[in-house]
Amino acid sequence: METEGQAAGRTRRRNRDAAPKLLRAPDYRQLRHPFPAQTMFSEDEVAAIHDTALRVLEELGMRVLLPEARALYASAGARIEEDMVFIGRDIVSAALASAPKSWRLRAPSALRDQDYAQGSMIFMAGVGCPNVNDRERGRRPGSIADFVETVKLCQHYDVIHMLGPMTEPQDVPVHLRHYATIRAQLEHSDKPLFLFSRGPGQVEQGFGLIRAALGLSDDEFTRDVWVSTVINTNSPRLLDNPMAKGLIDFARAGQMCIVTPFCLAGAMAPITPSGALALQHAEALAGIALTQIARAGAPVSYGGFSSNVYMKSGAPAYGTPEHIKMQIGGGQLARHIGLPWRTASGAASNAPDMQAALETTMGLWGASLAHGTLIVHTAGWLEGGLTFGYEKFINDIESLQMFAELCTRPSGTAAEIGFDAIAEVPPGGHFFQTGHTMERYQTAFYAPVVADLNNFGTWSEAGAKTADMRATDVWKAVLRDFRPPEGAAERVERILPLIEAGTAAGGAPAMD
């Protein structure tokens, strides 16, 4: 008799000299959620949260700083009092009627296109991080060199489906930063593009670069979705200038706004999950309405990033039970209004440790059971988004790839079950040499990126490297061997003269 632990040790020893070549090449490029969407609130409660959000917009209103946006709301019938906008439920209904339910998110390479729709599972790396951190170079403010590296890391792994602003290239002046980030994305990647809404100059120039790189006419550009932006409201109930302008400009150009209130329950939002979701919902509906007023039929994603704070310090928490409850409730609200939607995982941990892995993995499961169309911050986020961690990124890729594997169901045919293989092996024997095994072993199982499955002795002899230490080797190898995708050199070639001319002309300022 032996325990499970001892039996595991026995198995390890059995085959330790065999090192077969594995030939698996899974396709993680387009995924759909492996499990059905779950619920956290009753249908009545969802309706009550939705109705509360409508009351918030009608009775309490949103503060909208941009006069152009207030004028658009007014044109649709909203009541305006100074910078407050009171949005009737008829305006919201009209917006939800005209907003498309799904669209094709185009990429420089068609192989990277995504169906932006309920049921799709699209992963974005951790984004919005002012700092980066790795074990070799330490924690530092993000630079354009770091931004380029993060684009390369995201490009390398198919399970990252969209680019984003992984880190902020703080060594590039703000009025030129959109040139640098669009260039880096086009030069090193062929995945769907991201552009910050930092005012009309940067947005229009960014669109121009993309049209030029991809050889699109204005019509071709506007007809499809080639670039996305995230619109964060300043919760509670405040829409600032660049965000409002971004909603208008992206909508008019037919490009995707991802409207994402950032509602931390107990801080910028009510302390209850249902209350934080009501505020999130109100603010998201206000943003969605503005896009549809600007251009009916513009692609706009519902979004939410509601989590809670730790009440002892006011610090945001991620991957918590409350976060998961609000993810799943957010999914119910998205389905209630029939739009695809964005959610996020995340991590508050300051280091790439067990806390970080736990937070991000819990958030990933919550986001999937919530059927987030787009799941942001899935790889590399640390410190609640203040740092993009390279070692964390690599370990999160493991998590995402494992999750992606769940999208493929195993087969239960007679041949797969393999009665004959069971018959072939005597009691107490092993299956290593059966035909059933030999036919399948090269492709049977997921092969890890960074997990070390050696036994303790072998692992110790090899330096007892923990997951973060091993991840350093992995990202360095990815960057060292990186090759830009096909067509990238040509695409970037087309925009270099535009960037040069734009730079000479002073770039474009960020909007206050």
User: Which residues 272-301 are close enough to bind its own copies by CB under 8 A?
Assistant: 272-275, 278-279, 282
Binding range to its own copies, per CB under 8 A, among 145-153, 182-190, 208-216, 437-445: 437-445
Q: Which of 9, 88, 484, 485 binds its own copies (CB under 8 A)?
A: 9
Q: Which helix (H) or strand (E) holds 400?
A: helix 390-405
Sheet holding 341-344, edge to edge: 122-123, 374-376, 341-344, 300-303, 256-259, 227-231, 193-194
Q: Any idea of the CA torsion for 478, 480, 486, 487, to the nearest 10 degrees?
A: 120
Contact with its own copies (CB under 8 A) among 169, 192, 304, 329: 329
Do residues 278 and 53 lie in contact, with contact meaning Cβ atoms separated by under 8 Å?
A: yes
Min CB(397)–its own copies separation in Å: 11
Give the pairing of strands 374-376 and 138-141. Answer: unpaired
Q: 188 or 237, CB closer to its own copies?
A: 237
Task: Decide: 429 and 484 in contact? Cβ < 8 Å.
Answer: no
Out of 106, 383, 491, 507, name the contact with its own copies by CB under 8 A. Answer: 383
Q: Is 308 helix (H, G, I), strand (E, B) or coil?
A: strand
Task: Tell the smallest beta-carbon distance from residue 377 to its own copies (Å).
Answer: 8
Q: Which of 205, 301, 327, 349 binds its own copies (CB under 8 A)?
A: 349
Binding to its own copies, residues 90-119 (CB under 8 A): none
Q: How far apart are CA 152 and CA 124, in angstroms?
A: 14
- Stretch touching its own copies by CB under 8 A, among 113-121, 239-247, 290-298, 492-500: 239-247
Q: How many residues bind its own copies (CB under 8 A)?
A: 171
Q: Which two tokens stand for residue 301?
A: 């994603």
Nearest distance in Å: CB 77, its own copies: 21
For its own copies, the binding residue among 144, 302, 434, 498 (CB under 8 A) is 434
Encoding tokens for residue 338? Answer: 């029939």
Specify the residue, 131 or 222, whose C-beta has the smaller distance to its own copies. 131
Q: Using the rule CB under 8 A, is 173 a contact of its own copies? A: no
Map tokens 């399970």 to a residue: 159
Contact set for its own copies, span 51-80 (CB under 8 A): 52, 55-56, 59-60, 62-63
* Beta bridge partner(s), residue 102: 117
DSSP letters for 469-481:
HHHHHHHHHHHHT
Residues in 404-433 that interact with its own copies by CB under 8 A: 405-406, 409-414, 416-419, 421-423, 425-432
Backbone region of residue 463 per phi and psi (left: phi > 0; alpha: psi in -120 to 50; beta: other values): left
Write down the least CB distance from residue 132 to its own copies, Å: 12
The region of 71-79, 261-269, 472-480, 498-506 touching its own copies under the rule CB under 8 A is 261-269
Site map 133..172 versus its own copies, x via CB under 8 A: ------x-------------------------x--x----
Q: Pick between residue 20 and residue 297 the one whose CB is nearest to its own copies.
A: 20
With CB under 8 A as the contact rule, the residue among 115, 171, 204, 353 that binds its own copies is: 353
Is the CB of 41 or the CB of 302 nearer to its own copies? 41
- Looking only at residues 196 through 235 of this chain, which bind its own copies when binding is defined by CB under 8 A? 197-198, 230, 232, 234
3-state secondary structure 121-157: CEEECCCCECEEEECCCEEEECCHHHHHHHHHHHHHC
Pick the binder of its own copies from 237, 335, 342, 491 (CB under 8 A): 237
CA 144, 150, 155, 156 torsion: positive or negative?
A: positive
Q: Could you identify the residue written with the tokens 């801080």?
A: 267
Give the one residue of 284, 379, 450, 495 binding its own copies; rule: CB under 8 A: 450
Asked if residues 105 and 114 have their Cβ atoms less than 8 Å apart, the reply is yes
CB 389 within 8 A of CB 396: no
Burial class from Cβ neighbours inside 10 Å (0-12, 13-18, 19+) for residue 64 reads buried
Binding residue (CB under 8 A) for its own copies from 215, 338, 448, 509:
448
Nearer to its own copies, 222 or 327 (CB): 327
Candidates 87, 121, 125, 129; binder of its own copies (CB under 8 A) is: 129
Q: In whole angstroms, how close is the CB of 76 to its own copies at the nearest point?
A: 20
Under the binding rule (CB under 8 A), the answer on residue 348 touching its own copies is yes
Asked if residue 20 binds its own copies (CB under 8 A), the reply is yes
Residues contacting residue 279 through CB under 8 Å, at least 6 positions apart: 53, 56, 235, 236, 237, 261, 263, 269, 270
Query: What does the alpha-carbon distance between residue 347 and residue 479 come to, in Å, rounded to a whole number?
Result: 24
Taking residues 356 to 375 in sequence order and writing x for each that binds its own copies by CB under 8 A, - otherwise, the string is xxxx-xx--x---x------
Give yes or no for residue 402 binding its own copies (CB under 8 A): yes
Q: Phi/psi at 337 (nearest 5 deg)?
A: -100, 0
- The H or E element containing residue 101 is none
Closest listed residue to residue 394, CA positions, set 378, 410, 409, 407? 378
Residue closer to its own copies, measured from CB, 432 or 482: 432
The smaller minimum CB distance to its own copies, of residues 455 and 497, is found at 455
Tell whether residue 265 is a contact of its own copies (CB under 8 A).
Answer: yes
Q: Using only the alpha carbons of the chain, give its radius of gyration.
A: 24
Find the shortest distance in angstroms from Cβ 114 to its own copies.
21
| In the complex, minimum distance from the CB of residue 103 to its own copies, in angstroms, rounded to a whole number | 24
- What track of x and - describes contact with its own copies for positions 452 through 481 (by CB under 8 A)? xxxxx--xx---x-xxx--x----------
